[in-house]
Structure 1
Amino acid sequence: MHLQTERFSDEVTDLIKTVYKDQIHSNLYKVDGVTMPEYYETFVDTVENFQVRDDDVWVCSFPKTGTTWTQEMVWCIANDLDYERGKVPLTNRFPFFDSSAHFNFSEILKADPGIQIPREMADSFKYTADSPSPRFIKTHLPFNLLPRQLRTREKEPKIIYVVRNAKDACISYYHFFRSLQDPRATFEDWCNLFLQDAVMYGPFWKHVLGYWEKRIEDNVLFLKYEDMKQDLPSVIKKTATFLGKNLTTDQLSSLTEHLSFESMKLNPAANNEDLVHLMKEVLQSEVEGKFMRSGEMNQWKSAMTQDMIERFDQWTRENLKGTGLSF
């Protein structure tokens, strides 16, 4: 399969190289309109021809919009709140499908064979393909880059998409980026990159709307991070119904507590600290930072200047006009 590729302007390319100092992210370009690393082309056919199963459950999202929270919720509901089995790391139970294409671990291992990269990440496509049914799969790929069998509905697994308002998503993504490597750019530089759709998996709104348009299909559930924060029990019940599960009042209370931010942050099987440690080793970084930072809504009110808030709001209005989606 051949996808159309496009380079960024010199100005945006310079900004990318200012923000990112690592080789993984500093050579970004557009693949079928999506910002991806230069080496992504080598994985296009693998993704396109991946064999989907009807009993799969896919959690899809733009980075840092509530993905890990949603994964843990979905896995617990589907597995009847089996917290004992849930002590296995989430990356094993719910592999990150495109991590091989995101981080290019094969090249990293060539450069430093001593780095211990878990199999589910070193070859995420094979690990996912070999996993027993029912598989739980996470991806940050936008709808137009998903495996062909998903896009054409040749296979109809459950697809759960979670989204967060753009300003908070931008801030959370920035802090995750800063937790992995020494920052060479300002927060304003990052915001400019985000607004120009030049962060990994951008454009943000194209990503969101690609799934929003599919929400009417019976195998797709569209969730908002803000709804989870404001009324988690209702979102749990909605998700359980979508997955064909009925939770008792006690189960609902138990899962709500299990999914609280403090519980998640302290849960080594779900807080992704091992992933952060691995990426710091790969990037040779000694910065301090956590995968789960604050989990709060409306961080933008204190983190962004008024000018930046207005730019984001205008950008949001332009992209959401006539779509029926709002935040």
Structure 2
Amino acid sequence: MHIQIERFDDELEDLIKKVYNNPFRSFVKMNGVTMSETHKKFSDAIENFQVRDDDVWVCSIPKSGTTWTQEMVWCIANDLDYERGKISLTDRFPYFDLSARSEWPAILKANPGIQIRREMVDSVNYVADLPSPRFIKTHLPFKFLPRQLRTGEKKPKIIYIARNAKDTCISRYHYCRITENLQGSFEDWCNLFLQGGVMYGPYWKHVLGYWEQRIEDNVLFLKYEDMKQDLPSVIKKTATFLGKNLTTDQLSSLTEHLSFESMKLNPAANNEDLIHLMKEITPSKFEGKFMRSGKINQWKSEMTPDMIERFDQWTRENLKGTGLSF
């Protein structure tokens, strides 16, 4: 895929600089998508990555329920092997484009005593060397995926998890406030989100890029809200997609394992080590956890009526005629 770098307009550029206070983060507009400048170093390796038909990919925009979906998918595919599931989810289900997010060599130079996971420096080749079956997480838009995935040359399982835009915006704000020491107001962040100035944005282009692929038999499109409202049904749907049959007892067991309360207390899945690492790199005055509340409709109490209307109008404009709703 040819990479074309474009300029942000001056207003958006100024807003990005106002909100972010991270010396290891530099954004560019790449093929219409806000990406880390570091992505350019890995674009060829990502484009030419050798996909395997028995891979399982979980794709999303950040803070859409990715970790929850990863744990569900891994448990189903591995016959509810909770003992092996005590291994960190980041080992069982690595983040494909992790090294393309930040300038890790510069981070290490500035923080010589810091301990990072080895795949952070080159996650693409790290994933390439894993034995099959590989479970792979990515936040890349569909058009940034490896060529063999985009063209259908390889047909691994792809599960996309989407979440209401307002709740995604709020959840991501609280997470980035802790890990990136965000400046400015919540309203500034919302404006950045609406304008596609948050990494992997614009939001709706990301979601619709995968929504358009749902007709493919190797693609499953899930919604966070459905998981919250009827988790057993989503588990069964995902199991069928993965070619697995669960007994009534297994379904009950996995539903309990995937409850927000259980996930928040599960050290293999709650990503607290990541929070500590990011706070070492970019100290922040804000405190919080990776799994904060897991609730739906947070926007009702956290957004102003004016901001809610702006998000709703933006959503209506982008979803008109697509068949997708939240």
- Unmatched 5+ residue regions in structure 1? none
2:13 matched residue in structure 1:
13
SS for the counterpart of 2:250 is: helix
Q: Distance in 2 between matches of 1:302 and 1:182?
A: 23
Q: In the alignment, does 2:64 pair up with 1:65?
A: yes
Q: Distance in 1 between matches of 2:5 and 2:202?
A: 14
SS for the counterpart of 2:79 is: coil
**How far has the Cα of 1:282 moved from its partner?**
1.5
Q: Conserved in 2, the CA contact under 8 Å of 1:92 and 1:120?
A: no
1:195 matched residue in structure 2:
194
Letter in 1 for 2:201: G
2:96 matched residue in structure 1:
97
Question: C-alpha offsets along residues 117-165 of structure 1, whole Å, 9 cap, x if unaligned?
Answer: 1123232112111111000000000000000010011111000000001
2:307 matched residue in structure 1:
308
Q: Conserved in 2, the CA contact under 8 Å of 1:75 and 1:136?
A: yes
Letter in 1 for 2:160: Y
- Unmatched 5+ residue regions in structure 2? none
2:287 matched residue in structure 1:
288
Alignment of 1:193-272 (within 5 A): 193-272=192-271
2:177 matched residue in structure 1:
178
Question: Greater CA deviation, 55-64 or 7-16?
Answer: 7-16
2:317 matched residue in structure 1:
318
Q: Conserved in 2, the CA contact under 8 Å of 1:6 and 1:31?
A: yes
Letter in 1 for 2:172: Y
After TM superposition, the score normalised by the length of structure 2 is 0.98
Q: Conserved in 1, the CA contact under 8 Å of 2:159 and 2:220?
A: yes
Letter in 2 for 1:281: E
Alignment of 1:70-89 (within 5 A): 70-89=69-88
**How far has the Cα of 1:286 moved from its partner?**
5.1
Q: Conserved in 1, the CA contact under 8 Å of 2:24 and 2:106?
A: no
The runs of 4+ residues in structure 1 deviating greater than 6 Å are none
Question: C-alpha offsets along residues 14-56 of structure 1, whole Å, 9 cap, x if unaligned?
Answer: 111111000233x312111110012221111011011111000
Q: Distance in 1 between matches of 2:111 and 2:41?
A: 21
Q: Conserved in 2, the CA contact under 8 Å of 1:63 and 1:173?
A: yes
Q: Conserved in 2, the CA contact under 8 Å of 1:28 and 1:38?
A: yes
Q: Distance in 1 between matches of 2:145 and 2:266?
A: 30
Q: Distance in 2 between matches of 1:138 and 1:181?
A: 21
**How far has the Cα of 1:292 moved from its partner?**
0.3
Q: Distance in 2 between matches of 1:182 and 1:154?
A: 42
Q: Conserved in 2, the CA contact under 8 Å of 1:182 and 1:285?
A: yes
Q: Distance in 1 between matches of 2:161 and 2:182?
A: 28
After TM superposition, the score normalised by the length of structure 1 is 0.97
Q: Conserved in 2, the CA contact under 8 Å of 1:24 and 1:37?
A: no
Q: Distance in 1 between matches of 2:225 and 2:24?
A: 31
**How far has the Cα of 1:171 moved from its partner?**
0.3
Q: Distance in 2 between matches of 1:119 and 1:80?
A: 29
**How far has the Cα of 1:65 moved from its partner?**
0.3
Q: Conserved in 2, the CA contact under 8 Å of 1:39 and 1:104?
A: yes
**How far has the Cα of 1:264 moved from its partner?**
0.1
**How far has the Cα of 1:107 moved from its partner?**
2.5
Q: Distance in 2 between matches of 1:113 and 1:255?
A: 41
SS for the counterpart of 1:137 is: strand
SS for the counterpart of 1:103 is: coil
Q: Conserved in 1, the CA contact under 8 Å of 2:60 and 2:139?
A: yes
Identity %: 77
1:23 matched residue in structure 2:
23
SS for the counterpart of 2:160 is: strand
Q: Conserved in 2, the CA contact under 8 Å of 1:179 and 1:291?
A: no
1:4 matched residue in structure 2:
4
Question: C-alpha offsets along residues 94-122 of structure 1, whole Å, 9 cap, x if unaligned?
Answer: 00000100122233123333211112323
Letter in 2 for 1:195: L
SS for the counterpart of 2:101 is: helix
Q: Distance in 1 between matches of 2:227 and 2:66?
A: 12
**How far has the Cα of 1:75 moved from its partner?**
0.3
Q: Distance in 2 between matches of 1:92 and 1:119?
A: 11
Q: Distance in 2 between matches of 1:41 and 1:84?
A: 39
